A and B are shown apart, each in its own frame.
Chain A
Amino acid sequence: MRSLERLTLAHLWVAFAAFAIACFFGVWQMWARSPLPAPFVTPDNYFLAVTEHGVSMAFVLTTFFVMGFGYFTAETALERPLPGKTFGWIGFILGLIGAAMASYAILSGRASVLYTFYPPLTASPYFYLGLVLVIVGSWIWCVLMIVAMAQWKRANPNVPVPLAMFGTVANAIMWLWTTAGVAAEVLFIVLPASLGLIHTIDVGLTRTLFSWTLHPIVYFWLFPAYIAFYTMAPKAAGGRLYSDLMGRLSFVLFILYSLPVGFHHLFMDPQEPAGFKFLQMFLTLLVTVPTLLTIFTITASFEIAGRLRGGRGLFGWIPALPWERPMVLATGLSFVMLFFGGGGGLVNMGYGLNAMVHNTSWVTAHFHLIFGGAVVVMYFAIAYEIWPRLVGHEPSSSMPQRIQLWLWFLGMMTMSLPWHWLGLQGQWRRVAQFDYSNPIIAAWGPWVVVSLIGGLLLLASALLFVWNLLFLYRKPEAARLPFRFALPVHPVTHVPASLNGFGLWNVLVAFLMLAAFGWPIAQAFVIEAPHAVVHRVDRGG
């Protein structure tokens, strides 16, 4: 079994190293944008930092965390050795080489195109090739997850797949669909342009293809948090999962409704037909359903736990919960951030409302709160939860973990609530420095400083997190027990075949993607939109 621990730890350490580095870049960016004098501020440095922050957080932290946690879940939930660990290591090494290549291109100043690329801006080929390798590594993970579940199902006919693994494979299948869009954009347009094989680009088409990926990628990052909500938090709270079926339903709804919705990132674009924007807006609205179901089910699970621990009355079960446990605390904090971030998200997806907030700090606030807040706080909790199993030692105290989680929560709220306000005032995104001599902009200054304070709290929390993982787990384990996931209130003896596999859902996704993206992609070839000339950012100077 030692081999599983090594594979998981390798992935998680790459993820957390990228995370810690990215936090430094993030804080410096906020300092540069504030009215306070900051060192090293040039546009080149700023956009280099934004690119490195985005790539590290959105591609490296997430992908490596999802893969590491997936390998861990596959072996512990299915209670049998993971097949093809060698391939897992190959995927890891490909991803690591890719991440290093991309970072090399970024840090040498030849890939300042942000993690969302913006063709016809064109970076060094090392940047795109590096990211392709990361994605190829993650595809290997997807295949291994699917194979592990298939083998288990063959060995256990008519038995429901354990919920944690069902969620993990749901994510793998969603990720294969998700990456098709960006893979087409990079392999057929952006990489050939970077290699000098083509000199002009259909910009509208690249935006359509990227939007294919842009929303479900966020759910790829989010899946581990939801898996933890369903299969770890109820147990940590001392209770049971309210409904296993709700978990399955939420996971398949994520596959369905996170994919055909990327146009809500393109509401303000000229090239997409209004009818398709409307269709994808409607489907975006439906992706709130699995989240609302999850909030109900997890809250109900916590209520059961609270009442088992002696909590009485309408709300008496809340203080009765074991909030000193990191997983329980993180789930609570995550829900608060999900409330604010989700509310902001409803505004973003508002077909008309979006015009008030598109490309303002409101959007930056939204995804920092949802991903950086609600999701990453669960990454911390998952790491704390599985670390004893990985390193063979218990934490000597949970106090530093709780301090770290609270710091992250307070930092994220202090940073992102002012950003929402500034966004409504019209503060736009992706700016190295503001001209604070302008009276409109001058009024924003104090709030930018407040958000910088939030950023410093986040950095402190990030460093404490790494310290906790390195030095807190020193107490020898009493006995080496197998890792256990939460049990449902009612043991699941059988589930409908549609909720024990993904065949039906793949067919439905194919249909929805055809309806949502078929014409918008075809349109590019039918109307033959004029191309733009490639603009390199990696030559000259």
Chain B
Amino acid sequence: MSNLEQEILRHERRWTAGVIIAVAVILGAVLYAAFALHVNPPSNIETIDPKTLHLSAEFTESNLGTRVEAGGQVTTRIVTAQFAFNPQCIVVPANEPVTLRLASPDVIHGILVTGTNVNSMVVPGYVSQIRTVFTKTGDLLMPCHEFCGFGHSQMWATVRVVPRENFRPDANGRVACEKS
């Protein structure tokens, strides 16, 4: 092989090594986030029939919204349907683990909460579940972020994050937004 060819090969090897290192560093960061910080995407293979969602024990109207469960765990249940969330406003305590559970009776929806990393699709047939901690108090936007029909742009809800002392469950453990 000529000198030039040797030189090309040497440069290519060096660059390839750099590429491998870059890929390894990124993969290391992902692994660290996944295993040390528990940052994982919201997989939840738990099926529910969209056609009879309103008859299910969990997603009937009276069971929607935020509730403090027997063990003290705060769970919020939301139905995402064309073209509104039910309920339209949810209350959650700040700096405490909260579980969001969502289901759709009709088409695909999705949610994000502005200023947080809460993000999930809501696929009819499955219950979406997100565990999170809200750290900032105030009213956050929770829009439907997946095209669900012509009313999609009008589909959004409010997440009201309140300090622990203002989070007051009623006798059944429920907390709802005050009518204002």
Contacts and interface: CB of A to CB of B under 8 A. Distances in A.
Interface stretch (B63-71, B88-96, B146-154, B161-169): B146-154
A243 B8 CA distance: 8
A285 B147 contact: no
Contacts of A277: 41, 43
A43 B12 contact: no
B12 A530 contact: no
Interface residues of B, number: 64
Interface stretch (A65-73, A263-271, A319-327): A263-271
B108 A426 contact: no
A537 to B, nearest CB: 7
Given A118-B107, A120-B107, A428-B112, A203 B123 contact: yes
A288 B148 CA distance: 33
A80 interface: no
Given A352-B39, A535-B107, A270 B34 contact: no
A85 interface: no
A440 interface: yes
A286 B129 contact: no
Contacts of A246: 12
Contacts of A431: 143, 152-153
Interface string B96-124: 00000000101110101111011111111
A289 B19 CA distance: 7
Interface in B33-53: 33-34, 37, 39-51
Contacts of B120: 268, 270
A394 interface: no
Contacts of A537: 149
A419 B128 CA distance: 28
Given A268-B41, A270-B42, A535-B149, A530 B48 contact: yes
A292 interface: yes
Interface string A272-306: 11100110011001101100110010001000000
Nearest to A207: B123
A429 interface: yes
Nearest to B141: A440
A25 interface: no
A532 B50 CA distance: 6
A47 B147 contact: yes
A1 interface: no
Interface string A350-362: 1111111011100
B23 A271 contact: no
Given A440-B141, A530-B48, A271 B126 contact: yes
A202 interface: yes
Interface string B12-45: 1001100100110011001001100101111111
Contacts of B127: 270
A341 to B, nearest CB: 17
B146 A360 contact: no
Contact of B126 (A200, A296, A529, A535): A529
Contacts of B49: 530
Contact of B117 (A278, A356, A530, A535): A356
A434 B153 CA distance: 7
B153 A355 contact: no
Nearest to A266: B121
A242 interface: yes
Interface size class of A (residues with CB under 8 A): 35 or more
A428 B4 CA distance: 52
A468 interface: no
Contacts of A352: 30, 33-34, 37, 39-41
Contacts of A274: 40-41, 43
Contact of A242 (B8, B41, B153): B8
A430 interface: yes
Contacts of A118: 107-108, 146-148
Contacts of B150: 43-44, 47, 112
Nearest to A264: B41
A350 B22 CA distance: 14
B146 A430 contact: yes
A531 interface: yes
A180 interface: no
Contacts of B37: 352
Contact of A268 (B106, B119, B148): B119
A270 B110 CA distance: 11
Contacts of B16: 293
B43 A272 contact: yes
A466 B153 CA distance: 34
B27 to A, nearest CB: 6
B121 A268 contact: yes
A433 interface: yes
B10 interface: no
Nearest to A439: B139
Interface string A490-511: 1000000000000000000000
Contacts of B11: 300
A529 B125 contact: yes
Contacts of A354: 41, 119
B5 interface: yes
B136 interface: no
A96 B112 CA distance: 39
Contacts of A285: 23, 26-27, 30
18 contacts: A46-B153, A118-B146, A121-B108, A207-B108, A270-B120, A270-B123, A270-B127, A277-B41, A288-B19, A288-B22, A288-B23, A355-B41, A358-B145, A425-B114, A440-B114, A441-B141, A530-B51, A530-B125
Given A431-B152, A531-B125, A535-B149, 7 more contacts: A112-B150, A246-B12, A285-B26, A355-B117, A429-B145, A430-B152, A532-B106
Q: Which 9 A-B pairs have the closest CB atoms?
A: A426-B114, A352-B39, A532-B124, A530-B49, A428-B145, A359-B145, A274-B43, A43-B150, A267-B41
Interface of A: 43-44, 46-47, 112-114, 118, 120-121, 200, 202-204, 207, 242-243, 246, 266-274, 277-278, 281-282, 285-286, 288-289, 292-293, 296, 300, 346, 350-356, 358-360, 425-426, 428-434, 438, 440-441, 489-490, 523, 527, 529-533, 535, 537
